[in-house]
Structure 1
Amino acid sequence: MSVNRWIPLENNPEVLNSWSSKAGLVTAQAVFEDVYGLDPELLGMVNQPVKAVLLLFPISDALEAKRREEDAKIKSEGQPLLDSTVVWIKQTIPNACGTIGLLHALLNSDLTFVPESPLAQFIDECKGKTPEERAKHLETTPLFANIHAEAASGGQTVVPTDLDTNLHFTCFVRAPSIRGPDAPGSYRIIELDGRREGPVDRGEYTDFLTDVAKIVKDTYLANSSSVQFSMVALGPGSEA
């Protein structure tokens, strides 16, 4: 059975916050805001503490080659410090990377959700499921399809008639190391991308947003000549 291709989602705080609110996040807890650049002065404008970062990037041959190389290394060597509680979802729905990225950001950020909301239901219905089973649940239930469609249609750009796109979302979250909270390197940056073979441990961090920016520079910008990059941060809401 073929899976419907969703409309691509904009990496726009207004769109992402609308999606999150409709899905069940109490937005007073946390909101998405633009990251206008990777220089220290621009990173300093972002409200702290940052809980997660969403990056929209253009897929290129160089980035695809790097992805395959990293996935092969992870498959052969493993990631011994990766915490098992990190929630990762395999992407099987075309153009659903925006919703997958939002789920990765919100479900790994110690947030609470409105009871019986789509986010609360997804957590409850996916307990103990594999990443592939979570993906199947997204395919076969309407929990997020309508929310995604509404958010994608409410952006600043016209909905494209050609739904093929080379732009893709990935997410960076903070996660504890299995070493424990008091050990050196006890908190790590984890990259979550539904197209990968699993979560990617990017190592320990000193300042989460600053170190994510360095990863984006070294891993993504260094392997692309495109300017079609955009980044948003999930940070304190009005009640923080």
Structure 2
Amino acid sequence: MSEPVHPPEGGAGETPNAPSASVDVPRARKAFIPLECNPEVMTALVHKLGLSKSLAFHDVFSISDPDLLAFVPRPALALLLVFPVSESYQRHRIAEDAGKEEYSKRGDGEDPVWFKQTIKNACGMIGVLHAVCNGGSRDMIGDGSSLQELLSKALPLPPLERAKALEDSQELASAHKSAATRGASAVPDAEADVDLHYVCFVKAKDNHLYELDGQRKGPLDRGDLGDDDVLSERAVNVVQIFIDREKESGRLDFSLVTLAPNMD
């Protein structure tokens, strides 16, 4: 993987001569400051929202070098990938989504939990929510926390109403602003158009790997992981597809972080 990109947030911007990154997303009524791809920032954000401090985000500097992977705590519960929204990606996304119906699941049995993105430049926050609200990390959300209250309110709602609940959450907006303004790089404008995007990979309770992106039509099942975590060979092969797709374009500004046990 490349060094972490700052700031790597995309979501509602466009790449030159490429289809809009928000083809399937309603026009944004609200905008967030782009979230830096910084494990310390992300960890502070989720701890403020109520995730157990036994979990934290960590950089993943390689998905192929065993020595570098050995430094990453396991089990890895979720992956957040930052990647360029290129023409080749847009063609792939539009073609894959063309025959799919809009996601409509809701309620306590929903697995995985999915959030549609309607806030401009919020794909980092949406990715973080996908990471902490699914799989084993969901069981680590504190009772009475902002995250628990948000999930309780959002789960019974259909996707667009659930997205509106995120828009209306003052706790979420406050926590996001606090995190987005404490990174190592210059703070961009919330209305800026950018061409990098977050996607989250989680292992759901059915042991399948799901690609979760608030700008798609719903969760994408990427196969059975069995007893393996999201940094297993089967999982990182899916991540490698994103990288291989961009080799011809020369865009290699990717970053990857994982949610895993806190080593502090």
**Does the alignment pair 1:133 with 2:161?**
yes
Deviates more, 1:94-103 or 1:129-138: 129-138
2:96 aligned residue (70, 74, 80): 70
The 8 Å contact of residues 113 and 120 in structure 1, kept in 2 or not, is answered as yes
* Paired residue secondary structure (1:144): helix
Partner amino acid for 2:245? N
1:222 aligned residue (244, 254, 262): 244
Partner amino acid for 2:40? E
Of Structure 1 and Structure 2, which has the larger fraction of its residues in helix? 1
Q: CA deviation at 1:233?
A: 0.7
Partner amino acid for 1:171? C
* Paired residue secondary structure (1:201): strand
Residues 99-178 of structure 1 mapped to structure 2, 5 A cutoff? 99-110=125-136, 111-161=139-189, 163-177=192-206
* Paired residue secondary structure (2:52): coil
The 8 Å contact of residues 208 and 224 in structure 2, kept in 1 or not, is answered as yes
Q: CA deviation at 1:238?
A: 4.8
Partner amino acid for 1:232? V
Aligned twin of 1:52: 78
**Aligned residues: percent identity?**
38
The 8 Å contact of residues 5 and 163 in structure 1, kept in 2 or not, is answered as no
Aligned twin of 2:17: none
Aligned twin of 2:58: 33
Aligned twin of 1:205: 225
Structure 1, unmatched stretches of 5+, are 77-82, 178-186
Could you list the structure 1 runs, at least 4 aligned residues long, displaced by more than 4 angstroms after superposition: none
1:20 aligned residue (46, 49, 55): 46
Q: CA deviation at 1:216?
A: 1.4
CA distance in 1, matches of 2:188, 2:205: 40
Using a 3 Å threshold, how does the CA distance of structure 1 residues 228 and 2 change in structure 2: closer, same or farther?
A: closer
Q: CA deviation at 1:73?
A: 4.0
Q: CA deviation at 1:40?
A: 3.6
Using a 3 Å threshold, how does the CA distance of structure 1 residues 103 and 152 change in structure 2: closer, same or farther?
A: same
* Paired residue secondary structure (1:189): strand
Q: CA deviation at 1:228?
A: 1.4
CA distance in 2, matches of 1:233, 1:152: 18
Aligned twin of 2:9: none
The 8 Å contact of residues 35 and 231 in structure 1, kept in 2 or not, is answered as yes
CA distance in 1, matches of 2:199, 2:180: 17
- When normalised by structure 2's length, the TM-score is 0.78
**Does the alignment pair 1:196 with 2:225?**
no
Structure 2, unmatched stretches of 5+, are 1-26, 103-108
CA distance in 2, matches of 1:24, 1:204: 29
The 8 Å contact of residues 88 and 192 in structure 1, kept in 2 or not, is answered as yes
